[in-house]
Amino acid sequence: MTLMNKTAAELQALLHNREVSVKEVTEDSFKQIKAVDDKVKAFLTLTEEDAIARAEKLDNEPFENRGSLFGLPIGIKDNIITKGTKTTCASKMLEDFVPVYDATVVEKVNQAGLISVGKLNMDEFAMGSTTERSAFQTTHNPWGLDRVPGGSSGGSAAAVAAGEVLFSLGTDTGGSVRQPAAFCGIVGMKPTYGRVSRYGLVAFASSLDQIGPLTRTVEDNALLLGAIAGIDHRDSSSSPNQVPDFKAGLTGDIKGLRIGVPKEYMGEGVSPEVKASVEAALTVLESLGATRDEVSLPHSHYASPTYYAIATAEASSNLARFDGIRYGYHPKGAKNLEEIYLRARAEGFGTEVKKRILYGTYALSADHHEDLYVKAMKVRTLIARDFNSVFENYDVIVGPTSATTAYEIGGVVRDPLTLYTNDILTVSVNFAGIPAISIPCGFSDEGLPIGLQIIGKHFDEATLYRVAHAFEQATEFHKRTPSIGEGQA
């Protein structure tokens, strides 16, 4: 059995008792990667030599200087800048890009004593929901290798589920941490917008993007968010709000908690087995002392078109810098400036990225700006007000993370109702800038994980962790691992 299936606390106990060294823990991570990643394909880049050298150095650190995450392996999504290590955004546009600085979150995980073992696959520039749109490889779901892991943080989720690393960082623009966490049966947190610095994150849609942790357990997730959260003066959207001790709030006590269950989250489009698992989870929460009522988020129905107007508009602006001259792929043999521009984008970007840039440029054009972008921003405000209204009377909102379990690779979901429902469930949270967490709450008849989403008020991640931990301790879903994650390649 791989050490990566243990919790941070269990590994810290082994390290403290000198039963294992930091180097042995790091080597165990690479051993599992080499055993399973040719099937899972979660990693784009491995940094084994640097990681082992860092582990040997950390082994000399006195125990009194070590924190709760010290010496543990982590994987980083490939749209987060890492000094001296390729950051490709899973795109040919940045295939050879080696940054000269670290993102703030990378600096923070290094300061916490974590050891980065490599960069994780994703949909190109975080545009997609299956990790099939990487320019380099398709990541497979460890629970069923013929299934997608979700996206765009599919590599980050699959690596944790397969026992390759204990922790990973992903990014969530419209559900890209929560949906892969649900599909892979792990814990994924999308923090409040501004809770975690975006300095060093390659932007997709700047007003929606947020970096978030993916882990096997709620406690590990709380520890990692505590390490990467906090104000950063290099990011003007970073919040000065104090970062609480998330672990200290994991008491298991949720008596008197008021839960709102949106009727829009449990209607048509949600599969019967997902709905049954969420209903069963709500019953567990009630047995722990919570109360629940049906509520309404009436503007959720506009989430999908609003998302595509705002996200693509921001993407078209952010990706304009990749012109083959200042940034990105430079076409060989181009004869003039116009040819450089045309070929850099034609050859550097994939189909999905091109489509979104074109749609975003259309939405921002003089003839359509008012009808598309401005109207979408107004609807965004209405969606955020819906959440604020519910939170006047309830502590959290609970529902499914995804309408279905993981799709088959290459099997396009043609049911528009399912696609529409999936957008309602996740992207609305990003419009409001509020936190949400996905935790395992069941399994389908095919043995595929089902995710429960818990949504909270601005900067109230502590309550989400408290509820998620209480549910986790009352159930056994988090203890199940895919066979490939048990060291069985």
Radius of gyration of the chain (CA): 21
Cis peptide bond upstream of 152, omega within 30: yes
pLDDT score, position 415:
65
Better-predicted residue by pLDDT, 297 or 485: 297
d(CA 198, CA 236): 9
The percent of residues in the chain predicted with pLDDT above 70, rounded, is 97
pLDDT at residue 268 in the model: 87
The residue from 6, 23, 41, 77 that is catalytic is: 77
Q: Is 236 one of the annotated active-site residues of the chain?
A: no
For residue 488, pLDDT over 60 is answered with no
Q: Which two tokens stand for residue 76?
A: 């980083």
Catalytic hit among 129, 168, 176, 316: 176
**Is residue 6 flagged as an active site residue?**
no
Contact 292/260 with Cβ under 8 angstroms?
yes
Query: Which pLDDT belongs to residue 349?
Result: 97
Residues shown for the chain: 489
Please report the pLDDT score of residue 413 as a whole number: 60
Average pLDDT, integer, range 275-298: 98
- What pLDDT is stored for residue 411 in this prediction? 77
Plot region of 324 (φ>0 → left; ψ -120 to 50 → alpha; else → beta) = left
Give the helix ranges, DSSP H, for 288-336: 303-318
What residue type is 486 in one-letter code? E
What whole-number distance in Å separates Cα of residue 289 and Cα of residue 392? 20
Res. 417 pLDDT band, cuts 50 70 90: low
DSSP state of 269: T
What's the mean per-residue pLDDT of the chain?
Answer: 95
Per the confidence metrics, is the pTM higher than 0.85? Answer: yes
The yes-or-no verdict on residue 410 having pLDDT over 90 is no
Mean pLDDT value across residues 396-423: 83
Q: pLDDT band at residue 489, thresholds of 50, 70 and 90?
A: very low
Cα 389 from Cα 343, distance rounded (Å): 49
| pLDDT tops 90 at residue 5 | no
Residue 485 has pLDDT above 90, yes or no: no
Cβ contact 191:173 at 8 Å: no
Mean pLDDT along residues 347-364: 95
d(CA 400, CA 406): 13
Q: How many CB atoms lie within 10 A of CB 251?
A: 9
CA 3 to chain centre: 23
CA atoms within 13 Å, Cβ hemisphere of 320: 9
Q: Which of 152, 238, 316, 402 is catalytic?
A: 152
Question: Mind listing the pLDDT tens digit for each residue in 66-123?
Answer: 999 999 999 999 999 999 999 999 999 999 999 999 999 999 999 999 999 999 999 9
pLDDT of residue 412: 63
| Bridge partners, 228 (sequence order) | none
Question: How far apart, in Å, are the Cα atoms of 451 and each of 107, 150, 423, 476?
Answer: 31, 12, 15, 14
How deeply is 435 buried, as exposed, middle or buried, from its count of CB atoms within 10 A (0-12, 13-18, 19+)? Answer: buried
Token pair 């960069």 is at which residue?
Answer: 119
Q: How far apart are CA 401 and CA 449, in angstroms?
A: 11
Tens digits of per-residue pLDDT, 30-44? 999 999 999 999 999
Whole-number Å distance between alpha carbons of 305 and 388: 21
Asked about 197 being catalytic, the answer comes back as no
pLDDT digits (tens, 9 = 90+) for 149-168: 999 999 999 999 999 999 99
| Sign of the dihedral defined by the CA atoms of residues 151, 152, 153, 158, in that order | positive
Q: How confident is residue 346, by pLDDT bands cut at 50, 70 and 90? A: very high
**Residue 265 pLDDT more than 90?**
yes
